[in-house]
Amino acid sequence: MTLTTRDHAMRMLGVRLRAAGLSTPELDARLLVQGVTGASDIEMLREPGTRMSDEEEARLAVFERRRLAGEPVSRILGMREFWGLPFAVTPATLDPRPDSETLVETALALLRETAEPRILDLGTGTGCLLLSLLHERADAQGTGIDISDEALAVAASNAARLDLSARVSFRRGNWTDGIGGRFDLVISNPPYIRRGDIEALEREVREHDPLLALDGGEDGLDAYRALAAAIPDVLTQTGHAVIELGEGQGEAVRAIFEPAGMAVLRIVPDLAGIPRALVAALPRG
């Protein structure tokens, strides 16, 4: 029987992760210890002296090796918190980033006066954007589109975990192809990395996020061109589109959306002050 406690294991792992140059060693260590022990945040605080089992120590050693090899904690645990909710992640899905919560906050404000909104999520991945909105708006209905069957399976499992399956449907498709009807909100976090820049991305992104969710073409703007052409046909006259932007892409995306017949209303910064969400609508007379 091991004599190692949760607290000791967490502190020692944090030291080793810091020595390896990882950016958030203490947080990573806590999450990994919680991952192998099942301990809640409160239990970690109230019961720091709880001993780990031999099996838990062995699993933690495996997790440590994977983290030191550059695998993100969310990939190791198969779960990422987004908008305060748990989302499963797999190699088929983009790892949700806190920056993308800007889209959820922006969308909720836009929907404040809309009763029973219909929401369309293009490139849904884990479903984190759409499901976060449905969690906040109990009167909303949603549709998530993705080109990856594997990603759609993950999104459906996340909907079930959050008890949202009755108000959401997922289908395979290429952006809006084959979609009938119009939506009060269209939201999307499209691939926007320039193809030539992918090799220079952080290892955690380059080696673990799916290429399909990263590659925005030679200039990083291919998906925006497709979205600008497609969204006018599925948006209500009073609806809005909320589209995630890559750093420095705001004006380039504006220059794509406006000639396509969309009015760009504003560009919203994230908490770091980086322009993150483009808000567009159909022209209103």
Beta strands 85-88; 118-122: pairing state: unpaired
pLDDT at 1 over 60: no
| Chain centroid offset of residue 141 CA | 19
* Domain 90-281 listed as CATH 3.40.50.150: yes
Q: What is the pLDDT of residue 168?
A: 98
pLDDT, one tens digit per residue, over 102-132 is 999 999 999 999 999 999 999 999 999 999 9
Q: Who wins on pLDDT, 133 or 3?
A: 133
List the structure tokens of 44. Answer: 């970690």
Q: What is the pLDDT of residue 180?
A: 87
List the structure tokens of 237. Answer: 């006259």
Q: What is the pLDDT of residue 285?
A: 66
> How many C-beta atoms surround the C-beta of residue 258 within 10 A?
14
* Domain spans of the chain, in order of start: 6-69, 90-281
- Return the amino acid letter for 45: L
53 sits in the region (left: phi over 0; alpha: psi -120 to 50; else beta) called beta
CA–CA distance, 76 with 279 (Å, rounded to integer)? 34
The pLDDT of 88-98, averaged and rounded, is 96
The pLDDT of 53-78, averaged and rounded, is 96
pLDDT at 189 over 60: yes
Q: What is the pLDDT of residue 284?
A: 81
Residues 6+ apart with CB under 8 A from 15: 25
Average pLDDT of the chain is 96
Q: What is the pLDDT of residue 2?
A: 60
- Return the amino acid letter for 252: A
CA–CA distance, 174 with 212 (Å, rounded to integer)? 12
Beta strands 263-269; 235-244: pairing state: unpaired
Give backbone dihedrals phi and psi of 103, rounded to 5 degrees, phi first. -65, -40
Name the pTM for this structure. Answer: 0.93
pLDDT, one tens digit per residue, over 142-160 is 999 999 999 999 999 999 9
State what percent of residues in the chain have pLDDT above 70. 99
Q: Closest Cα to residue 154, out of 144, 166, 140?
A: 144
